[in-house]
Amino acid sequence: MKCPFLLALTVFAVAATAADPPAGNATRGKQLFRTHGCYECHGYNGETGARDLVGTQSPLIGDLATFTMFLRLRGDQAPLLPSSRMPNYPASSLPDADVRDIYAFVRTFKLDAPAVNDVPALKAILDAASRAPK
Q: Where are the domains of the chain?
A: 4-131
pTM of the model: 0.65
With a CB cutoff of 8 Å and minimum separation 6, the contacts of 125 are: none
Count of all residues that appear for the chain in the document? 134
Considering the segment(s) 4-131 as one domain, its CATH architecture is: Orthogonal Bundle (1.10)
Q: What does the pLDDT look like over 98-123, one tens digit per residue? A: 999 999 998 888 777 677 778 888 88
With a CB cutoff of 8 Å and minimum separation 6, the contacts of 124 are: none
Q: Which of 54, 40, 61, 58 is nearest to 113 (CA)?
A: 54
Residue 124 CB: number of other CB atoms within 10 A? 10
The listed range with the strongest mean pLDDT (41-50, 53-62, 71-80) is 41-50
Does the pLDDT value for residue 26 go beyond 90?
yes
C-alpha 14/C-alpha 84 separation (Å) is: 26
